[in-house]
Homo-oligomer: A and B are copies of this chain.
Amino acid sequence: MTHMVYPGALHTRFQHVIGAMHLMQLAIDTLRSKGVLVSDEEEEAALVAILLHDIGHGPFSHSLEHTLIEGVSHEVISSMLMDRLNVEFGGKLTLAITIFNDKYPRRFLHQLVSSQLDTDRMDYLNRDSFFTGVSEGVISFDRIIKMLAVKDDELVVEAKGIYSVEKFLIARRLMYWQVYLHKTVVGAEQMLIKALKRAKELSNQGYDLFATQALQHFLKNKVNADNFTTEESHLNWFTKLDDTDIMSAIKSWVNHEDKILSTLCSKLMRRDLFRTELRSQDFSEEEIAMVRDKAKQHFDLSEAEVDYFVYHQTIYNSAYSADKEPIKIINNKGKLLDIAEASDLSNLEALSKKVVKYALIYPKELGFVEDGITFNFE
């Protein structure tokens, strides 16, 4: 839904994976030029792994991740699809899958696919920065890749690349707060999620809703962690879905008789998005109750129905997780250091801190919640 705020952000997951493959190729070329042996099989497998790493994403990716199918992450679906493809290709993807699942002993190949400094992130930061115009996200992917090295089969970064890595982590943090977790985007995503949820509810109640056959499948059936992996048809239908299934339905539902569904869809189509208030301290129960009351009256809703119009969210992000596998720096004597120790500039500490914000999302018709003491970052 980022394009609701940044109209240029219309690039696709296809473009992203092609870009990430390109970076993987550059990374492998760089490592080889430094004497790291990478066989042709390993090269192909790493390229396939990054090509397919996001294949389990459905329409609107993260936004609808747990809405169409409850409790099944896109990673699980990616894994299922890779296994299918592997059968189709007569086992040729086995090494790629092994790398993807981090079961291959030469771990740097997996780390290039998925880690705190992987080609996935390097591609999406630059790409999203480019298409949104938020130049804070620009990173020197070429320099970072040139600084990559391998020590004991683990991916490391040469010491003189430390500033570029720091910049990469900072860029990621800024992109989260300016783009991925932009409050208007967060609000629009919730509206979309709630519209789909309402459509499922109405379908279950026996209402007839316009939808493509594939989308109908997920509106009418309760697909979840229990049955998704056991009944093959669910995955079949899932692969037929894309954004046009969702958008052609949302457009149709603007005229649906159910007021809640039609209001949400109509507001989405007209970009009459909900207001999102974002704070560093959480909203009080009184404030939330007040907003819910206003919504109840204004839209004539029952207590349960208010959930479709007022959303309370907790949002958080940390640029660098000290808990997860750290980014390792290697100096020119071959000694390894965690980047947090190697940085003499002490910024990593700040970057490791988890930043939490609280959102209250509601229709603009309801006015403003007075923000009292907190400083409001409009």
Query: Which residues in A have some Cβ–Cβ distance to B below 8 Å?
Result: 7-8, 10-12, 14-15, 18, 134-136, 138-140, 143, 158-160, 162-164, 166-167, 170, 173-174, 177-178, 210, 212-213, 240, 242-245, 247-248, 251-252, 280, 331-333, 335, 337, 342, 344-347, 349-351, 353, 355, 357, 375-378
Contact = CB atoms under 8 A, between A and B. Distances in A.
Contacts of A134: 140
Question: Which residue, A174, A240, A342, A345, has most C-beta atoms of chain B within 10 A?
Answer: A345
B355 A280 contact: no
Given A14-B7, A244-B244, A248-B245, A167 B174 contact: yes
A355 B345 CA distance: 7
Nearest to A167: B136
Q: Which 4 A-B pairs have the closest CB atoms?
A: A248-B248, A244-B244, A244-B247, A136-B167
A177 B344 CA distance: 12
Contacts of A346: 350, 353
Nearest to A18: B7
Query: How many copies of the shown chain assemble into the complex?
Result: 4
A128 B242 CA distance: 25
Given A166-B174, A248-B244, A345-B350, A160 B378 contact: yes
Given A244-B244, A244-B251, A11 B14 contact: no
A234 to B, nearest CB: 18
Given A251-B244, A377-B160, A350 B347 contact: yes
Contacts of A15: 7-8
B162 A377 contact: yes
13 contacts: A10-B10, A134-B140, A135-B138, A159-B375, A159-B376, A163-B174, A212-B251, A213-B252, A245-B248, A245-B251, A280-B344, A331-B375, A345-B355
Contacts of A350: 345-347, 349-350
A335 to B, nearest CB: 7
B212 A252 contact: yes
A18 B8 CA distance: 11
B136 A164 contact: yes
Contact of A177 (B18, B140, B163, B213): B163
Contacts of A332: 376, 378
Given A15-B8, A331-B375, A136 B163 contact: yes
A164 to B, nearest CB: 6
A335 B374 CA distance: 11
